[in-house]
Chain A
Amino acid sequence: MTSMRPFLVAMLLLLGAAGARASDEVALQDGEWMSYRDAYKQMIRFEKYGKPKQLIQSHFQVVPKDRNSSLDGVRLTLAGPSAQLNLPLDPAGRAIFPFLKSAYDDNARLVLNRKANLFEMQQRVSIAPRADGTYEVADLRAACEQVLDYLRHVGKPAMQEKKCAGVRFSFARQGVDPAIRLRGAEHAPQLAVEEGSAFPGDAGPLFQTVSYRFADAAAKGQLVTQGTPVAIAAEFR
């Protein structure tokens, strides 16, 4: 037992240091966090992805775990020992991820100004919006396939059996006209506006959403949005 003493002492010192550190964390910021290194590993895959991705984009996203958790006032901060960087969130909770060697080497954290267990942090791949608001149906199909190919590439569960079903446009709940006009398919039914999350499966936040199903549409044509969408998501079946 005597020979165990140095190791027990070392363990106690380590535990003490960890406890002190944990106390500091709570004192500094009682918020949900994620290791920057772990986030970097997720996010860098898209940058290194070699297949077609010109129609899609990658963000770091903060997602509420339930419908009652709002993103209003939520701030995402990259916090390192020497510097802090605010990462602005769009209405869907997405931020542009900064690839910083200094933050990686400092073992920085991504911190929310909200308590733990209310939000998740993850990579989100979506369809890139167009400035003119006009989307070729063929491009939307191709974009959906690009999202699906990427998710298969990184090993998202159950993606091998999925097929592209359509796209979902999300608009702010107020002050934006969510109507989408079909150009080149005038006889097609009007696309319905519903309340829902920007991305299938997310608990929130809620938007005005318009889903466009490829199965119901002609191979050619254009979708023209009146307002600027918050996000455009691929939908699978």
Chain B
Amino acid sequence: MKPAPFKYIAASSLDQALALKAEYGDEARFLAGGQSLIPAMNFRLARPEVLIDINPLSELAGIDRSDGETIRVGAVTRYRALERDAGFLNACPLFADALPHIAHPQIRNRGTIGGNLSHADPASELPAVATAMRARMKIRSSQGERELSASEFFVDLLTTCLEPEEMLVEIAFPASPPRSGSCFMEVARRRGDFALAGVAAIVSLDEDGQFTDVRLALCGVGETPVDASEAASSLIGQRCTDKALEAVAAEVQATISPSGNVHASADYQRHIAGVLTRRALASAHEWVVHA
């Protein structure tokens, strides 16, 4: 399974990379970690005429926590860097739960957060995490810059809103508010496989233990990550009870339209989406209570 021929350019600067992408448009792809792109190229499912290698652009990698409110992560930051940064994991605990589910260490040593989000596989964990966390996606082209919410970024199956000349350059995550807890859980056939369903939950509680905010996003059950926070709105002002959580789970099940795949039927996906919703919310709640 050898890839089709392509022209290879190792970018020397971000401006150059963007200029090249503007020139070649859809004929060119950015090469970051390559852990999704290169298998597709080996299968000849992807046949870019030009590869612009952005790995040399160290300015696009790194975690910036200087601003206490926001954690900025460069798009070419590798999963490996994220999982080894205790400060980052502390600030964004959903990542601590989600990262071990992403493929295997060998993949995480190369793959990047920007590459993952730009690939927009709905069964992938980080698009759901970004959605739950209300991440802001910073996009650049040689013409300028724009910023979008995660929900606006993920448009369709394997499709983002990125125009042919654009690159995702940075993702900004709001710092966890006080008295909040999070949990990411998924069901997959084997460790590291794509999720049959996964849930990212963030909850905030007031002094009386009542929910003040609930963020809920699912992977694996739609064409894009599914923001199911609305389904959890019944929890606001409530305490955490089994009945309350079951109601949210049922609401989530009613909202989603999983399509099924070779590993699981749509009914099974819907079923475990409900199970994981309950479990993730309970776990996130526990986190706050015991903190």
A binds B: no
A contact set with B: CB distance below 8 Å? none
B contact set with A: CB distance below 8 Å? none
